[in-house]
Structures are given as structure tokens and as C-alpha cells.
Structure 1
Amino acid sequence: MPIKRLNILRQRDHWYAEWWGSVFLIAVGVYALLMPNSEILHRSLVDGFLTFFPVDIWELLFIGIGLFQFCMLFTESMWGRGIAAFFASSLLIWGFLNIFLFGQWHFSLVAWGVFSSINLYALSRILTGLEKCNEPL
């Protein structure tokens, strides 16, 4: 029984990675909304090339795209998951580059990079068709 569960988890590890990516986006947006003067996120969202939107818009974008990706995971729609992974990876790459170039190498840079690569990997699996069929173990 445990081996069967491990095989199921291994086949769906990308799904769980996308789930954690959506949770990260939602958590960042909610944390930024609840802690507006937080040194961890505030400078990351207002410095550099992210200044053309107010901070509240960025926070709502994070929450909205995170919720969209979260919902698309449960519909099992390849189009929906692909679009959600595209928007999530775009937003996270943009945030990663903003922190990298203007954020004085803030420690959250690693998390932004990891979750953007997770979403890019999910997007590549969907676009190449690997997501449609379960890969053999």
C-alpha cells in the first residue's frame, strides 16, 4: 500500500509543485496586504521597475493569479493550467528580476527564483504534452 501511494505522489509531483507555487503567490499577496510596512516585501514591490502600479495592485495581482492557478489545478484543464502557469511564472520572474536588480539581493530572492522555475517547468510539461499522459516510473 505505501508503495502504491508513493508511485501516485511521484506521478503527480508536478501537480503538488504547482500547488505550492499558487500557495506562495497567495501568501505573498496576503502578507503584503496585512503588513503594509513590512521590510520583507514592501521594498521589493515598490523599488525598481515595478513602480508603475501602486503596491495594492501588485498585491491583488499576486492573490488573483495565485487563486486562478489554485482553481485551475482542480479542474484538470490543460489550457487553464497552462495559462495559469504562464501568468504565475511571468509574475514571479518579474519579481525575481526586480529583487535581483533593485532589491539589494534580498533573501527572498531564492524563493522567487525557485517558484518561478517550478511554474516554467509546469508550463513546459503542458506545452510539450508530457502532462497529458502519465510518464512510466
Structure 2
Amino acid sequence: MSIKLAKVLRKRDHWFAEWWSSILLISVGIYGFCAPDSFIIQQSFIDGFLKIIPVHLWECLFVSIGFFQFLVLSSESFIGRGVAAFLASSLLIWGFLNILVYGEWHFSLIAWGVFSAINLYALSRILRGIERDYEPF
């Protein structure tokens, strides 16, 4: 790997983490539409989420917030990234707490917790101005 590529990857590691978060949200939402009887979806959505709004609305939220985060990352807008990170972290924290309280333990609990922390960290960097001041694109 060239030194220039390594520097670019190091400077944009938070961008890539947010990108993976958007892919996770989109994937979970689409998977929920395609395989509604899956064990993972049963544990992730149905145990507690249906007590507030229908499962299809949660799936739409996952896809739309993930797609919004993906689009904002392409435009490299700090305000947009902040809003997307806030929405994604809120949804992922809700999912994490839903599985923790209502469901049984499985791997999505770890994934949702890690990606909610990634989005909260990205949000804190954007709000403090670190992204703008120290990591120019």
C-alpha cells in the first residue's frame, strides 16, 4: 500500500465508519422487508418495537436514515453529517436497548451498540469542530 493511500485512509477513518453504519442500517431494513420471519428480525424488531409503531415503519426508518447518511457522506456536509449521525445513533441506541430489554442475546446487540457509539463519536467530533478544523477533505 502506498504511503499516500495510507494517509488518506487514516484521515478519513471516521468517514468510513459512518459509511459502514449507513450500510448496516440499509441492510437491516432491507433484510427486514425480505425475510420478515427471520430469527434476527424477530429479535431485533418484534420484541419491543411493535409496542410503539408497526414493524414495517421501523424497517422504513432504518432504510431511509441509512440512505440519508450515505447521501450526506457523499456531499461531505458537516451539518448534514451531524444530523445523520444523530438520527443514526438514536435509532441504533433504541435498537440496542430494545434487544437488551425485550430480547434474547445475539450478535446484533454488539453490532448495534458499536455502530451507535461510532455515530455518537462522529457527532461529538462534528459538534466540537474537530472534523472541520483538523481533518480537511
The question of 1:55 aligning with 2:55 is answered: yes
Q: 1:10-39 deviations in whole A, cap 9, x for unaligned?
A: 000000000000000000000000001111
Structure with higher helix content: 2
Contact 1:99 1:105 (C-alpha < 8 Å) held by counterparts: yes
* Total equivalences in the alignment: 136
Between the aligned partners of 1:9 and 1:134, the Cα distance in structure 2 is: 15
Between the aligned partners of 2:51 and 2:9, the Cα distance in structure 1 is: 41
Which residue of the partner structure matches residue 44 of structure 1? 44
Unaligned runs of 5+ in 2: none
Q: How does 1:40-119 map to 2 (within 5 A)?
A: 40-48=40-48, 50-119=50-119
- When structure 1 is superposed on structure 2, of 79-88 and 101-110 the one drifting more is 101-110
Unaligned runs of 5+ in 1: none
Q: CA deviation at 1:94?
A: 0.3
Which residue of the partner structure matches residue 17 of structure 2? 17
CA RMSD of aligned residues (A): 1.5
Q: Which runs of 4+ in 1 moved over 4 A?
A: none
Amino acid at match of 2:81: R
The question of 1:124 aligning with 2:124 is answered: yes
Between the aligned partners of 1:32 and 1:110, the Cα distance in structure 2 is: 18
Q: 1:39-97 deviations in whole A, cap 9, x for unaligned?
A: 11123212125521100000000000000000000111111000000000000000000
Q: Give the TM-score of the pair, scaled to structure 1.
A: 0.94
Q: Give the TM-score of the pair, scaled to structure 2.
A: 0.94
Sequence identity percentage:
62
- When structure 1 is superposed on structure 2, of 86-95 and 99-108 the one drifting more is 99-108
Between the aligned partners of 1:26 and 1:75, the Cα distance in structure 2 is: 18
